[in-house]
């Protein structure tokens, strides 16, 4: 099913993100993870494509398995490190697997390069232009606290608007830990003429030390309330898990209560975390 059709229902929905195993790694673990996550009946599941400029692997295979589990898949696709031929091959494979949704991304440059090879796409907008005639439902990424490569929020939003106008059906946000950041950003997008649905990206934090580094790199701010939790429980895995699930649940409830209908949970391939969050939301999602 196309994500645009899922979102058009206008009901609160929760979707999950997973990452595939590295090339040549066994597939059994991810099958178990996907099967367990599918039992939670997410609106859809997205499958990442490489990261930090590393070679990608297995996205189509995992997205195909998501579909076999009866859940609509969203396959991520990055263009900065993928040749046009490779992109064409991925599209063909996704079509054969009946995947209908693609998240169009630039990706990041590998550490040892500064320029994409000649002929490669430079920005996500180029990929959107190329894929628009394909008939896939297309999504893109957006950044409530600005993308770190862009010096000014207004400029970042202007580029985002170009990307949406090129043919995006929806956006998914970078993680944020303060819902006011999301609501202020959403108001700004609407004011600047970006009208597509904006799915809120929520990261349940279960590893306190790791998150500080991730947030520094991605430019995500940590509210004081959240910092206190990490300071207090960051070194105690079980306590941090409990606190991370509670914080994410509270964020999601507040988003739904204030009119956001779609939330995407970055599961980090931990079904037990997604299960606990979904259990907390059962009454709300059934309402
Ligand atoms: P773009 O939309 O191209 O924007 C990147 C930067 O370029 C921004 O600063 C923007 O303002 C600027 N820009 C845009 N257009 C222009 C232009 N025409 N001229 C000059 N500047 C311009 N990474 C992965 O490797 N794999 C994944 O699976 C993955 N999934 C993600 C999912 C989500 C929801 C998010 C939020 C991020 C994901 N990322 C992933 C990370 C993403 O690839 C990086 O954040 C990357 O740095 C930017 O990708 P983008 O698609 O947002 O790029």
Q: What is the mean pLDDT of residues 168-189?
A: 98
CATH classification of the domain holding 252: 3.20.20.220
* Cα separation values, 252 from 6, 12, 48, 105, 259, Å: 18, 10, 22, 25, 11
For residue 167, is pLDDT > 50?
A: yes
Rounded mean pLDDT of 167-172?
Answer: 98
Q: What is the pLDDT of residue 56?
A: 62
Name the burial class of residue 268, with classes exposed (0-12), middle (13-18) and buried (19+) by CB atoms within 10 angstroms of its CB.
middle
| Cβ of 171 less than 6 Å from ligand 1 | no
- Concerning whether 17 is annotated as a catalytic residue, the answer is yes
Q: Which residue's CA is the closest to the ligand 1 atom numbered 16?
A: 159
94 in contact with ligand 1, CB cutoff 6 A: no
Please report the pLDDT score of residue 51 as a whole number.
63
Query: How far apart are the CA of 50 and the centre of ligand 1, in A?
Result: 13
> Domain range for residue 71?
3-286
- Summarize pLDDT for 197-246 with one digit per residue, the tens: 999 999 999 998 888 888 988 999 999 999 999 999 999 999 999 999 99
* DSSP characters over 222-285: --HHHHHHHHHHTT-HHHHHHHHHHHHHHHHHHHHHTT--EEEEE-TT-HHHHHHHHHHHHHHH
List the residue whose alpha carbon is closest to atom 40 of ligand 1. 107
The answer, yes or no, to whether any atom of ligand 1 lies below 6 A from the CB of 105, is yes
Domains held by the chain: number: 1
Judged against a pLDDT cut of 50, whether residue 176 lies above it is answered with yes
Which of 45-59, 60-74, 128-142, 272-286 shows the lowest per-residue confidence on average (mean pLDDT)? 45-59
Pocket perturbation via mutation, ligand 1, pick of 101, 130, 147, 168 by most ligand atoms within 8 A of CB = 147
Tell me if 153 CB under 6 Å of ligand 1: no
Q: What is the DSSP string of 67-83?
A: HHTT--EEEEEE-TTS-
Q: Which of 112-116, 184-188, 259-263 has the lowest mean pLDDT?
A: 112-116
Asked if residue 150 has its Cβ within 6 Å of ligand 1, the reply is yes
Quote the pLDDT of residue 53.
Answer: 46
Residue 111: its pLDDT value, please? 83
- pTM, entire model: 0.97
What are the E-state strand segments in the chain?
13-18, 45-47, 73-78, 101-105, 137-142, 170-173, 198-202, 262-266
């Amino acid at each position: 099913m196309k994500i645009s059709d899922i979102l058009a229902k206008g009901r609160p929905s929760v979707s999950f993100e997973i990452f595939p195993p590295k090339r040549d790694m066994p597939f059994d673990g991810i099958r178990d993870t996907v099967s367990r996550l599918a039992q939670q009946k997410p609106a859809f599941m997205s499958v990442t494509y490489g990261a930090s400029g590393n070679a990608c692997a297995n996205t189509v295979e995992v997205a195909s398995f998501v579909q076999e589990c009866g859940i609509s898949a969203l396959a991520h696709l990055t263009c900065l490190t993928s040749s046009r031929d490779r992109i064409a091959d991925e599209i063909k494979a996704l079509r054969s697997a009946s995947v209908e949704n693609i998240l169009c991304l630039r990706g990041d440059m590998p550490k040892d390069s500064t320029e994409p090879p000649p002929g490669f796409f430079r920005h996500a907008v180029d990929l959107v232009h190329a894929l628009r005639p394909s008939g896939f439902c297309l999504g893109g990424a957006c950044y409530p606290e600005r993308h770190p490569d862009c010096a000014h929020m207004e400029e970042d939003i202007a580029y985002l608007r170009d990307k949406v106008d090129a043919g995006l059906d929806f956006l998914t946000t970078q993680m944020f830990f303060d819902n006011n950041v999301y609501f202020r950003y959403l108001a700004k997008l609407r004011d600047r003429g970006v009208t597509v649905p904006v799915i809120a990206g929520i990261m349940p934090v279960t590893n306190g030390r790791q998150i500080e580094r991730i947030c520094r790199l991605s430019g995500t701010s940590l509210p004081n309330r959240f910092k206190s939790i990490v300071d207090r429980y960051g070194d105690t895995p079980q306590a941090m898990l409990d606190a991370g699930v509670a914080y994410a649940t509270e964020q999601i409830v507040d988003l739904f209560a204030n009119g956001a209908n779609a939330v995407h949970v970055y599961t980090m391939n931990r079904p037990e975390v997604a299960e606990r969050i979904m259990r907390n939301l059962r009454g709300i999602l059934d309402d």
